[in-house]
Chains A and B, each alone.
Chain A
Amino acid sequence: MSRLRLIWRKSLNAVMLTLTGVAAFAVVSVLFLILGYLLWNGGKSLNWDFFTKLPKPVGETGGGMANAIVGSLKLLLLAAVMGLPVGLMAGVYLAEFGGKAFSFVIRYTTDLLNGVPSIVIGIFAYSLAVLPVKHFSTFAGGVALGIMVIPITVRSTEEFLRAVPTSLREGAMALGASKWRTIVTVVLPAASGGIITGMLLSLARVAGETAPLLFTAFSNRYWSPGWGQPIASLPVMIYTYAIAPYDDWHRQAWAAGLVLLALVLIANLGCRLVLNRRGAIRSV
């Protein structure tokens, strides 16, 4: 090989390395720019009142979003209760039982559902849970978010179950465990780390959804006891406050954005900590 060719290859290598490096840096810097801006603006406006007080009437400054924080948590709880079990079980079916044709249909439908614009899911939940009772409710918001949780949970559950080696299943069945028993006692625990992570990711994704909540949970400037009344949530509050013409509301919208992000991060980190403590168990 000629010397020239060697130099050409080395320089090409250097150029490509630089290009990919720059692209990676660009991605990360956009993320940090957003984070930094949010931290700067949100941090400035965050105070204790934000977590403890209700919104003040229009025209008064101060107040907080205690109701929206609790509201978001309640909506996520509903979404988890309604969406996660369905997603989990469908994922188990796909990975462990499904025949070829039927599985293909389910998988394809799930991907489609994942791609449905969230506002469309909002309309669906509206006609399902708002129209019949003729008022907005926490429950309707939970339905909308619950539907959105399903497709991600299905696919991540399936992926992680497929990663469990067949030898583990055989080991359990060779001891006389039925298929169902094998799945519950060996396969699911072996994949639990990944499955839980997938579930948290899906919840984190819907935690920031605004569109489907606008005409299901709507919003509320007061506490919303029970599950049958309109309820405030952080994303909808951010939307409402950001488009309002008051500086004090803009300030609070930033704070709400920061709190929403923090909630998602804390949930993720907490889950990771718990899973890591169980440590070696996951290294199948």
Chain B
Amino acid sequence: MSERKIRVLMSKPGIDGHWRGGIVVSRALRDAGMELIFGGFQNVNQIVEAAIQEDVDVLGLSIHSGAHFAYTKQIIDLLKERGVFENILILVGGVIPAQDFPKLKEIGVANVYGPGSMTSDITEFIKTHVKK
């Protein structure tokens, strides 16, 4: 019996176009055997809709604009409203100061990856923390 692959949606909330991080991590997760849906630019409603439609286990948010708190909070609130927050592992990556990690975790982010993160650490974290 084949195991269901871990499904990941990688999105870029907002309009900032720094795209390298999101692509690098997407490829690494795909190489690690996960099913990767690259959402690209999506507004917060589109992200939540796509996460539900695609029945994802993991939602990756790539944010380099400095507006990481505003977007993440909006997305988590919407996921809660739709009753799916508990099912999805939320990860945030980008140019995010270490000082902001606790604040993001407090609102429901499972882990945060700042500059210099290794993709192997992200893969490992997902495999050990995925909720389903």
Chain A bound to chain B: no
* Chain A residues within 8 Å of B, Cβ to Cβ: none
